[in-house]
Amino acid sequence: MKFMLFAPELWVLFGSLVLFFVALADGNGRTARFWAALIVVGNIALTSATFFLHGDLFQGVYRIDLFSQLFKVLVAFGLGVVVLMNRDLRDVPERIKPEYYLFLLLSGLGLMMVVSCVELLSLFVALELSSFALYLLVPMRDDRNALRIQMEAASKYILYGVMATGVMLFGMSYLFGLTGTTVLAELLPKLHNIGSQPAALVAIMMVLAGFFFKLGLFPFHFWLPDVYQGAANETSAFIASVPKLAAIALLIRIASFLVPEDQSAGLLLGGLAVASMFYGNLLALVQKDLKRLLGFSGIAHAGYVMLGIVVLKDSGFATAIYYIAGYLIMNLACFLVICNVSTDGGNLQIDDLSGLYRRAPLLAIVLGVGMFSLAGIPPFVGFMGKFMLLAGALKQGYLVLVILAAINTAISIFYYLSVVRVAYCTDPERDDVLPVSFMVKALGVVLVAVIIVMGVAPASLVELAQQAVATIR
């Protein structure tokens, strides 16, 4: 039945219409949150229900298969956690809270659509839908210190974003010029017929540049720390985790055009991965602001996940999917703590976490597990993901890349653990107990459980990812 194929997207679209009317009726944040929570929970249920469906829609530009549905479930889960994790958006002005939820949902909708698009133009428009919403979410923050950092962050985000989009479109125009089609399934054989013309490689790389921007890979990373710092905590939580899923999905779709024998492509992608790891990890060492630290760590993780893409093989792509899914969960765990420890919605310095183990023991555990996992310590998902990425790259003969990545892991342990040290080994500056709602506790427990289960038993998910990757060929 064709209707079910498109049901999750229709549901979210319908939900954003509801929120639109809430906004029109000058609804308050509480009403908007109720509807948003209802919609995201329904969305998780619908995406799970449509998980094993497959089919084509809209004259073949929109494909539902295991690959798209896997990413859709992950996006729906991330969106759900972000919406549910905070009772009241403390840092968003009350009057625009309905709009805030509306943009959050539309951004999620764009990301859910983009993983299903198998045609360049629709892919571009769906990606822009999510980007526009994010550009708008960043400046929606109270101007507490009159420093207007949120405006600075938003302008940086939108200027870099538009530039990256321009480069991506230019690359797409080359692809169209070379093959005369925008449908991915028709592009692939025609590109292979052309052979090793430099224009094909340049075109693919330019398209990938647009996705690198979303992922925050060096040298498309400049916006990332500033946006994390300038945007409200909940906005950062979303930007840091969910769009990266879609970026990886698109990277895999387009990178599957490249043939593994192409040395220059591997060299370029590998170089970007290494530069990204070193840049992110070294700059993260000196950060004081927790969100900024996670921003630089995000740049480094973009480098790690590229290790899966660089091998240009299905096995590597599957590991990349596993890793980015794990990254989503551990990042959300860290941001769950940030959003709830910051009682007034302001940014957290690392020192603000001092004595967290006494003020909110559960949050301290969630933070500890998230940070350990990001650092890549067993038995958490971060370790297993990194291990598989490195093992996969080693098998393809990228020895130098693997050594450099291992060095980076060692560097990163220092700053992740220093955050945990502050939370556990220092005395609290304040003695008050942090109020933690039931919902946050439940989400924290779920996230920690998922991090551990994914780390201990990765086989089934990796197998699923492998089946998913196999469907895009």
Partner 1 sequence: MSSLVSVEGLAGVVFLVVVAVTLIGGVIATSSTRLPRAVSGLALCLIGIAGLYYFLNSPFLAAMEMLIYVGAVCVTIVFAIMLADPGADKKPGGMTAVGTAGSLGVGALFAWGLAALGTTTMWPAAAVKVNDGSVKAVGHALLTTYSFVFELISVVLLLAIIGALALARSGRDKA
User: Could you say whether residue 126 binds partner 1 (CB under 8 A)?
Assistant: yes
Strand spans (E) along 61-193? 62-64
Whole-number Cα distances in Å, 87 to 81, 104, 133, 183? 12, 15, 21, 43
User: Could you say whether residue 59 binds partner 1 (CB under 8 A)?
Assistant: yes
Stretch that binds partner 1, among 91-99, 228-236, 315-323, 445-453 (CB under 8 A): 91-99
User: DSSP of 393-427, one letter per residue?
Assistant: HHHTT-HHHHHHHHHHHHHHHHHHHHHHHHHHHS-
Distance in Å, CB of 108 to partner 1, minimum: 12
Q: Quick one: which of 16, 12, 8 has its CA closest to 51?
A: 8
Both tokens of residue 335? 């941001």
User: Could you say whether residue 89 binds partner 1 (CB under 8 A)?
Assistant: no
Q: How far apart are the first and last CA of the chain?
A: 24
**CB nearer to partner 1: pick between 249 and 290:** 249
d(CA 165, CA 180): 21
Stretch that binds partner 1, among 40-48, 88-96, 297-305, 329-337 (CB under 8 A): 88-96
Binding track, positions 345-384, relative to partner 1; x by CB under 8 A: ----------------------------------------
Q: How far is CA 399 from the centre of its chain?
A: 28
User: Could you say whether residue 257 binds partner 1 (CB under 8 A)?
Assistant: no
**CB nearer to partner 1: pick between 179 and 409:** 179
User: Could you say whether residue 122 binds partner 1 (CB under 8 A)?
Assistant: yes
User: Could you say whether residue 177 binds partner 1 (CB under 8 A)?
Assistant: yes
Those residues with Cβ within 8 angstroms of residue 252's Cβ, 6 or more apart along the chain or in another chain:
309, 317, 320, 321, 469, 472
User: Could you say whether residue 57 binds partner 1 (CB under 8 A)?
Assistant: yes
77 close to 44: Cβ distance less than 8 angstroms: yes
Both tokens of residue 302? 């973009």
Q: Which of 53, 121, 362, 446 binds partner 1 (CB under 8 A)?
A: 121
Stretch that binds partner 1, among 103-111, 292-300, 313-321, 383-391 (CB under 8 A): 103-111
401 close to 437: Cβ distance less than 8 angstroms: no
**CB nearer to partner 1: pick between 66 and 127:** 127
231 close to 89: Cβ distance less than 8 angstroms: no
User: Could you say whether residue 470 binds partner 1 (CB under 8 A)?
Assistant: no
User: Could you say whether residue 185 binds partner 1 (CB under 8 A)?
Assistant: no
Stretch that binds partner 1, among 192-200, 222-230, 351-359, 437-445 (CB under 8 A): 192-200
User: Could you say whether residue 74 binds partner 1 (CB under 8 A)?
Assistant: no
d(CA 459, CA 437): 34
**CB nearer to partner 1: pick between 88 and 143:** 143
User: Could you say whether residue 229 binds partner 1 (CB under 8 A)?
Assistant: no
d(CA 203, CA 322): 28
Cis status, amide bond into 379, omega within 30 of 0: yes
Q: Which of 28, 196, 197, 437 binds partner 1 (CB under 8 A)?
A: 197
Both tokens of residue 259? 């043939």
Both tokens of residue 263? 């040395």
**Interacting positions 135-174 with partner 1 (CB under 8 A):** 135-136, 139-140, 143
Residue numbers at the binding site for partner 1 (CB under 8 A): 13, 20, 23, 57-59, 61-62, 93, 95-96, 99, 102-103, 106, 109, 113, 121-122, 125-126, 128-129, 132-133, 135-136, 139-140, 143, 177-180, 194, 197-199, 202
